[in-house]
Structures are given as C-alpha cells and as structure tokens.
C-alpha cells in the first residue's frame, strides 16, 4: 500500500550536506517527492511510495543522520497517497518558515577528504587554500541571511566555474549544494603584501611564508573568521617584538598551532580527552601541560605550566604548516589589545603595519568575526574558557519553555558575550572580549543583531543587564529597551553566574541549589565588590548565605594591578603600620613601581581611608598570596597573579602545610588568618610551591565546608561551582571531592564558560523568567 509522509526537521539541518543525504536514500528506495531548506533554517521533506519503504526512510533519517546534524525537533505527519510526484528532487530553498527554532552549524574545520584533494597534484584543488565541501568549511562567519544558500553568503562574490557548478548540482557529489565550495579558477585568492601594502610576487607562496617566519618576521594571516599574527614559536626575538607591538601583552600567553598530535607531543602532554578535543570538528585551542624541558620559547607562556595549542582548521593553516620544520607556530589575533580583530582588507592594510612585517590576505569577505575557542580540563572535564568559533551559533537547551518571551542578556564588562533566550533555547553570541571601548561595544551590538536576524527575532520583551552602573553594556541595554519598547532588569553579577550554571546542568525552574561563585569582581547589592560568594539560589532569586571576609583594596583598582597592596591591607588587621612598612621595604622592595614612596603613600591612604574600597573577591585573595610568595607582583593581563599561583602550586605538595582557620562565622570565611599564616610559613622557610598548593586546598575546603553545612541543614542535594576561579583545576577538584564525600551532587559547567562569557546567558534566562511569573 502506498502512502505519503511529511517530515519537518528543526535544529542543525542546513549547511551540513543534509539535503543530499536525504536525496540519496530516497533515490535508493525509489521514493518520489522533495527536500528543501526553509527560511528559518529548518528542512521540509515530502515523500511518497510504499508504506514499508517510507517507514525505512523515516527511521533512517531519524537514527542515521549525518554526524553534524542535530535534531531539536523531528516531526512526522502521515498523509494519504496523492501520486503528486514523478521523481525525488532537491527543490530550491523556500523563504517560508516551518516554525520552531532551527539554526546553522558553526564554522567547521576542514575535513580529511578535502585535505586529500589539496595534497593530490592531479587534483584541481591541489594546494588550494579554500577547499571545502558540504560537511566542512566556514558557516556562521560567512552567512548574511537565511535560508543558507550561496547567494546569502559572502560566496556570492565568487560565481561557480563549470567544474564546481557540476559538482554543486550533482546530488551524488559530496560538494552538492556545498555553499562555500570553489576552486582556484572561481574562488578566493591569496596575496602576500609587505607592511607598506605592496604586493609581493612569489612562485611558492607557502614556502615563502615559512621562510619569512624562519627569518624572524611576523606575518598577518587573514583566515576564515578573523585575522591572526604568526611568528616563530622557537625564536624569542620575534615573540618579544610581537609582545611590544600588540601592546598590554607583556606576559599574557600566546596560543600556538601545530600540524599534528605527534608534533604537539614534542612539547606538551596530551591525554585521550585532550586529543579528542584537538581533532574534533570544532578545533579549539586546548590548554595542555608543558613538557620539561620545554623545547619552545619560554616567552610563549611565561611562568605557566600549560600552553594553549590547536590543530589547523582551515586550508590556509594546513598548507603553511605542511612546509614548517618547527613543531609549532605562534598564532594570535591580529589586533591591538582591547580592539576586535581586523577583518576587512583595507582595515588590515592600514592598521597592521605597526603589528606585522608581512601581510597575507584573501579577497573573501568575513561577515562575522569569530575568535578561536579555548578549552581546558578541570576536574577531568572539558570546560570552555572562550566559546566562539566551532560552537556559535549552537544553543544551550533549556529544560523549560519561555513561550513568547524573547529576552536578551548584554553581558558584563570582561570577556563578554551577548545571549538571546527564546522558547526552550538560549543562544550565546561569539566571544566579544572586554567591552570597555566603543569598538568592542559596536562588535557586541553587531553580533547580537546578526544572531537575532538569523533566529528571526522581531523584538525583545525584556533586557537583562549587570548591576554595575558604569558598564558600557548598560548603555546598550537601554538602547535595545528603547528600540524594542522592552522592559529592563538589572541582575546581580553572581546570580547570573549561578543561573548560567543551572542552565548548563539542565535544572528545572523550581530547582534550588547551593552555588559557590568565585571570581575577581562583581558588583554586589550592597555596593561592595563581591567575588567569593555562596548563594542559596534559584533562577528567580538568591540568598547570600556566605562569602569571603571583606578585605581593603588600598588605592581601589590599583590594588588589582599591584597585589602587594592587598597584602598590606589584609595584614593591617594584625600588624601595625610600622610592621607593615618594615615588611614591605625589607622583603618586598621591588613589589611596587613607586618603591618606598609608594609604600608610604599607600599606608597613609589606609590610615586615613582615602580611596580604600572593600572586596570579598577570591581572585584578590589568590593574587595576594601570589605577591606574598613573590610569584607575581604585577598584573599585566586579567587573572595573571592567580594563574601564576596555580602554576606554582602545580609543582607543590600541600601536605605538611596546615592552616588553622576558624570555622566560618555567620557564613563569613576568614581570609586574614589565611594570609597571615601563609606569611609565617613563608618566613619560616617552607617551599613556596607547597604553600601555594596548601592555599588552594584551604580555600576549596572552606568554600566546600560552608556550602555542605548549609545544604544539609536545608535539605538541598546539589552544590555547584562557577565563576572564573572554577577554571582552577586544583580548587575545582578539591571542592568536587568534598561534595562527593558528603554524598551530594556536584555541578560544574559543560557547555558555557565558567567565567564572564557565561553571564549573558544567565541574564537572558533570569530576565525571561521574571516575565513568566
């Protein structure tokens, strides 16, 4: 008996070779009908044929889909046979929508088959850097509108040649309807320029680039979703030049790129989980433990035990690395600090002459920039530090439905993103960076608008933003509220952190948890800078049940740059002014740029309470210990003192360093005793690495003990850990152990960053739920 079936697929079903996949199996079963993309990134299929074959067809689509496909909804509707079709075909895309929420895949790393094409001398794509097919290549960074068809991407500038058009039109070819497919005859081209912008002619482009790098030059490379600076990872001289040219990059680590896992293993340890992350289609930067002795330059990641490494994700990278003899190249974003990556050729040529010696450009437009994603293992689980290329625009599923309330979170100040929450999904934007300049603010707005257009957002009903009154993102929130006639909701920073953790663990609306939120800075409801918090929290509210002791920040924000100021402020609760002066001048004379004079001034500030603010920040306590142990006196990048302290602790043993900290009184964890005892251990000759390890353990224990005590007395079964300090493997691992030993469930992040990159998602959901009461 013949029948007819209509299938609606929502999720990641466009841009991954899904239609050719459907076509080939339908032809195999001799079905008739069609498959086509819809205007909202969904796919519609109608097929007719014997009922038995249609059952096979539906089951095949449901359970044997392409590996990149992801169904958010798979709707099957049976109808009576109408004998409407004579064959099965792929129809042109429709602007009509199938409803629900669908979305594009992220940019996908070049596949093995395309790499093989590039390596064959008799192939038309031999050494062609922009080779791609239906299952690989750029997606999010090239699309301008839906449906995902070539005219709606930046590839509209490159009409297909006869060969590429034949492949594109052939349903049995792996480049059928591959929107970014092209070859050397019809696709983008690469050009090499000197720093003055003049073109350089060369017969062997990739060998020439490697030769220039080996000679100590810094090369700008325009890639898939952004522009990088590349230089030798072995020679210190170009690395130091790069640090100077980038500005504010005195010690901040650079990432490196290697051609293979085998090459990576020459300078870093790679376990099975890390290897899987490295070779995945997302191709993130993965933080790996350095091997000792470390064969690359110490200036790549100074004073750190780990290094960020990625494998090539584009043909450009692969072709360059194939010619390289060294195990790795430095690859960092081509922009001065606090300015988004340059992506337009004119902009690159006019701005990077101060950064690079040579410039490699191509003529394909980048519609949306996307920085490289960064990931590391914490407590043996992958946690995202930066969620961008390879992930965006994939959503975070919500375990509840927001119905008609489309909401927006605009994020905080640092390492920011935006996020849109709608129906049962939350869509974070790509990584934006620190929103402290007009350029990054414009980037944030552009990213939100682009994502909103792809999701078909007509308007927002409510905008969530940070409690801090002076953030640039607050101005953007108010602008969106005016344009959309939307409500505004201020959301406390750490509550947004807790909500993002709950989203990430698929917790229902009514769930209550105890959340430990540890980071560097977040504006508290009392006007104090928070950052070492324990909340009894739900999505809709929180109770602050514990926190680190408030400590003075002498000089306000200057104490975040020179943590010896925190040492002085904390020890002033125990030591006299004269004792602190003698301590700093005798034991830490080089800890402040102003020397003795600055020490005297800060003590006067403390005595007269001039520009002295308060904080409960965990980041400040870790930075204090870092300065106390002479590991780091100056913060030249975000989190540096704490990060260096973790590296010091990595080689330490906490056994034998026993702190005697009183139990938290009224939920307040005593950090004055912690710092004073750490100083006593240090003065008695205890190895600094052992003190650092013991401090990590003690902070974790104090947080865990307070959280467990409250959870058990209030019948709460889940304890979570979030905030930037949650990236710290030693602290995360110890909290997990304590929670597990207490027979409670431990929550940590899975798909959203622990740090401020997850704030916007928490904001968007808190805001939406405030309208769903």
Q: Known catalytic residues?
A: 19, 37
Work out whether the CA dihedral 506, 512, 514, 516 comes out positive or negative.
Answer: positive
Residue 635 corresponds to which tokens in the numbers above? 């913060």
Q: What are phi and psi of 281, to 5 degrees?
A: -65, -15
Cβ–Cβ < 8 Å for 331, 324: no
Closest CA to 279 of 270, 266, 269: 270
Closest CA to 500 of 484, 480, 519, 483: 519
* Residue bearing tokens 């002791």: 549
Preceding amide of 293 cis, omega within 30: yes
DSSP result, 432-492: -B---SHHHHHHHHHHHHHHHHHTT----SEEEEES-TT-HHHHHHHHHHHHHT-EEEEE-
Q: Whole-angstrom Cα distance, residue 640 to residue 553?
A: 17
Q: Whole-angstrom Cα distance, residue 190 to residue 363?
A: 7
Q: Whole-angstrom Cα distance, residue 657 to residue 655?
A: 6
Q: Whole-angstrom Cα distance, residue 216 to residue 363?
A: 26
The DSSP symbol for 396 reads E
Q: Whole-angstrom Cα distance, residue 324 to residue 234?
A: 12
409, 72, 458, 402: CA torsion to nearest 10: -60
Q: Which residues are paired to 515 by β-bridges?
A: 535, 720
Q: Whole-angstrom Cα distance, residue 94 to residue 99?
A: 13
Q: Whole-angstrom Cα distance, residue 514 to residue 718?
A: 6
Cβ–Cβ < 8 Å for 28, 68: no
The DSSP symbol for 177 reads T
Residue 533 corresponds to which tokens in the numbers above? 């918090």
Q: CA dist 65 to 21, 22, 361, Å? A: 8, 9, 37
Q: Whole-angstrom Cα distance, residue 611 to residue 244?
A: 32
Cβ–Cβ < 8 Å for 457, 482: no
Pairing of strands 529-537, 542-548: antiparallel
Residue 249's SS3 state is coil
Q: Whole-angstrom Cα distance, residue 545 to residue 713?
A: 12
Residue 135 corresponds to which tokens in the numbers above? 């299952």
Q: Whole-angstrom Cα distance, residue 376 to residue 364?
A: 32
* Residue bearing tokens 């590296």: 647
Half-sphere exposure of 145 (CA within 13 A, CB side): 7
Residue 362's SS3 state is strand
* Residue bearing tokens 């973790």: 646
What is the phi-psi region of residue 56: left when phi exceeds 0, alpha when psi lies from -120 to 50, beta otherwise? Answer: alpha
Residue 586 corresponds to which tokens in the numbers above? 């005798």
Closest CA to 327 of 300, 364, 359, 367: 300
Half-sphere exposure of 526 (CA within 13 A, CB side): 10
First to last CA, the chain: 51
Cβ–Cβ < 8 Å for 618, 699: yes
């Amino acid at each position: 008996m013949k029948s007819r079936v209509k299938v609606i697929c929502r999720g990641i079903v466009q841009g991954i070779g899904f239609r050719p996949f459907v076509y080939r199996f339908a032809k195999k079963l001799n079905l008739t009908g069609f498959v086509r993309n819809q205007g909202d990134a969904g796919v519609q299929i109608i097929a007719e044929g014997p009922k038995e074959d249609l059952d096979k067809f539906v089951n095949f689509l449901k359970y044997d889909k392409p590996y990149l496909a992801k169904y958010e909804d798979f709707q099957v509707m049976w109808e009576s046979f109408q004998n409407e079709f004579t064959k099965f075909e792929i129809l042109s895309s429709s602007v009509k929508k199938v409803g629900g929420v669908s979305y594009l895949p992220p940019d996908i790393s070049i596949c093995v088959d395309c790499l093989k094409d590039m390596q064959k001398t008799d192939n038309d794509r031999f050494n062609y850097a922009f080779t791609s097919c239906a299952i690989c290549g750029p997606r999010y960074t090239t699309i301008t509108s839906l449906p995902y068809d070539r005219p709606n991407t930046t590839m509209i500038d490159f009409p297909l040649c006869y060969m590429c058009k034949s492949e594109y039109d052939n349903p049995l070819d792996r480049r059928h309807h591959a929107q970014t497919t092209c070859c050397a005859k019809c696709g983008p081209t690469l050009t090499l320029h000197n720093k003055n912008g003049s073109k350089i002619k060369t017969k062997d482009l990739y060998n020439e680039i490697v030769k220039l790098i080996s000679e100590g030059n810094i090369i700008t490379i325009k890639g898939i979703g952004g522009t990088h600076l590349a230089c030798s990872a072995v020679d210190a001289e170009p690395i130091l030049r790069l640090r100077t040219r980038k500005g504010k990059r005195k010690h901040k680590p650079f990432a490196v790129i290697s051609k293979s896992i085998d090459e990576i293993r020459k300078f870093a340890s790679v376990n099975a989980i890390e290897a899987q992350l490295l070779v995945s289609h997302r191709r993130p930067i993965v933080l790996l433990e350095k091997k000792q002795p470390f064969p690359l330059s110490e200036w790549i990641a100074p004073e750190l035990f780990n290094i960020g490494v990625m494998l090539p994700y584009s043909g450009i990278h692969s072709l360059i690395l194939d010619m390289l003899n060294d195990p790795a190249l430095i690859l960092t974003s081509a922009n001065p600090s606090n300015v988004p990556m340059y992506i337009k050729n004119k902009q690159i040529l006019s701005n990077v002459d101060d950064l690079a010696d040579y410039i490699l450009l191509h003529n394909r437009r980048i519609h949306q920039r996307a920085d490289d994603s960064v990931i590391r293992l914490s407590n043996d689980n992958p946690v995202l530090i930066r969620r961008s290329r390879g992930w965006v625009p994939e959503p975070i599923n919500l375990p509840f439905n927001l119905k008609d309330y489309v909401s927006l979170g605009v994020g905080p100040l640092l390492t920011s993103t935006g996020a849109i929450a709608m129906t049962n999904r939350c869509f974070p934007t790509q990584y934006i960076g620190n929103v402290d300049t007009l350029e990054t603010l414009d980037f944030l707005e552009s990213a939100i608008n682009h994502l909103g257009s792809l999701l078909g957002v007509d308007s927002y009903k409510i905008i969530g933003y940070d409690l801090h009154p002076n953030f640039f993102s607050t101005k953007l929130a108010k602008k969106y509220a005016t344009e959309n006639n939307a409500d505004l909701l201020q959301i406390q920073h750490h509550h947004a952190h807790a909500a993002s953790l709950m989203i990430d663990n698929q917790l229902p609306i009514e769930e209550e948890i105890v959340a430990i939120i540890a980071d560097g800075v977040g504006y508290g409801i009392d006007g104090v800078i928070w950052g070492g918090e324990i909340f009894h929290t739900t999505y809709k509210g929180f109770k602050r049940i514990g926190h680190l002791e408030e400590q003075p920040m002498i000089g306000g924000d200057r104490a975040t740059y020179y943590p010896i100021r925190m040492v002085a402020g904390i020890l002033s609760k125990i030591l006299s002014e004269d004792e602190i002066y003698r301590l700093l001048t005798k034991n830490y004379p080089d800890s402040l740029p102003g020397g003795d004079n600055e020490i005297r001034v800060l003590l006067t500030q403390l005595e007269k309470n001039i520009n002295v603010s308060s904080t409960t920040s965990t980041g400040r306590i870790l930075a204090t210990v870092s300065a106390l142990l002479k590991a780091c006196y100056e913060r030249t990048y975000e989190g540096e003192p704490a990060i260096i302290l973790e590296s010091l602790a990595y080689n330490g043993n906490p056994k034998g360093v026993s702190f005697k900290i009183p139990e938290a009184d009224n939920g307040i964890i005593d950090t004055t005793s912690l710092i004073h005892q750490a100083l006593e251990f240090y003065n008695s000759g205890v190895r600094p690495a052992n003190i650092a390890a013991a401090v990590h353990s003690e902070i974790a224990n104090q947080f865990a003990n307070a959280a467990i005590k409250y959870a058990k007395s209030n019948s709460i079964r889940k304890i979570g850990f979030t905030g930037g300090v949650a990236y710290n493997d030693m602290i995360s691992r110890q909290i997990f152990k304590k929670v597990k030993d207490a027979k409670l469930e431990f929550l940590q992040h899975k798909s959203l960053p622990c740090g401020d990159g997850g704030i916007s998602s928490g904001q968007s959901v808190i805001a939406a739920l405030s309208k769903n009461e």
